[in-house]
Amino acid sequence: MRQRIIMPMPQPDRLRPVASRQNALVKELRRAFRDGEPTPGGCIAIESVRTIEEAIRSGLRLQAVFFSESARARAERLLPQLAAHVETLLLPDDVFQSAVATETPQGVAALVRLKSHTLDNILSVPDPLIIAAAGVQDPGNLGTLIRSAEAFGAAGVLVGAGTVSPYNPKVVRASAGSLFRLPVVAVELPAVLSTLRDRGLRLLATSSHKGTAIDQADFTGGMVILIGNEGAGVAKDILRHVDGQIAIPHASTVESLNAGVAASIVLYEASRQRRATDEHRDTGPQRT
């Protein structure tokens, strides 16, 4: 007998055409990109295929995904990864362009709900390594800081007043997905520093010109490292609360390091010291 081949039924096109700039979801996307803050529903705006895939891989809940007409082919890659409840919209190129942050977009954007974190979540980690952004204004610097914090094992990032919003689209891009996984919590500095000290954490601030060289500093145990403003550094009202300052030795012809680069170097050294301490603890004293 000839075997009967059953062909799969074609799936209906999930892309809902939307031509109006006044569509509620399009307006929500535009506002989230413009303000760099979560929507009333708790979503932030993200764009690019890679960033959306990072959000999916990180277990985040997507509210809606938007495709421009010229980027419709990218839907074939993303649609199989999206849960059935996720709205998927197809926009004319000009409508899509009016809603996103970049001048040359890839044609894919989304509204995604971040996980909720608190200071207590960060402090629940034994001997946490915490980074506090105290006036970091450049989005690329903050995004790099968050990315490096995850890479080098920090428990979380605290964001103080005067720091760019961690939900700014440029911060999201520069964090390369780390914002989706690492606890990032807005706090009142310097008020929260006394709480951190009461929890037994040491407070260290970075400095361009003075302080203990990082290879001489002790980064073991629970601690908070404060990264200051790109030009002015850590503010004086915050410095009054710290236990010490640390500096990265560099050529005198260079005035200071980029805040994101400085944070990454300090985080690497802290990770190296803490890893060595853990390995020594695991192996214990050697018998002779």
pLDDT tens per residue, the chain (288 residues)? 455 554 443 344 789 999 999 999 999 999 999 999 999 989 999 999 999 999 999 999 999 999 999 998 889 899 999 999 999 999 999 999 999 988 778 899 999 999 999 999 999 999 999 999 999 999 999 999 999 999 999 999 999 999 999 999 999 999 999 999 999 999 999 999 999 999 999 999 998 778 899 999 999 999 999 999 988 889 999 999 999 999 988 766 566 778 999 999 999 999 999 998 777 666 665 554
In a domain, 142, yes or no: yes
Overall domain count for the chain: 2
* 73 and 89 fall within a common domain: yes
* 161 and 263 fall within a common domain: yes
Instruction: Provide the domain limits for residue 145.
Output: 119-283
pLDDT tens across 81-110, in order?
Answer: 999 999 999 999 999 999 998 877 889 999
Indicate the pTM of the whole model.
0.89
From 83, 113, 143, give the residue that closes a domain: 113
State the angle between helix axes of 139-151 and 259-283 in degrees (0 to 180), rounded to the nearest 10.
10
From 113, 146, 181, give the residue that closes a domain: 113
The domain that holds 37 is classified in CATH as 3.30.1330.30
The tokens for 31 are 């506002």
In a domain, 261, yes or no: yes
* 142 and 204 fall within a common domain: yes
* 135 and 198 fall within a common domain: yes
The tokens for 132 are 């506090």
* 104 and 124 fall within a common domain: no
> What is the C-alpha separation between 271 and 263, in angstroms, rounded?
12
Which is nearest to 120 in space by CA: 60, 38, 185, 189? 185
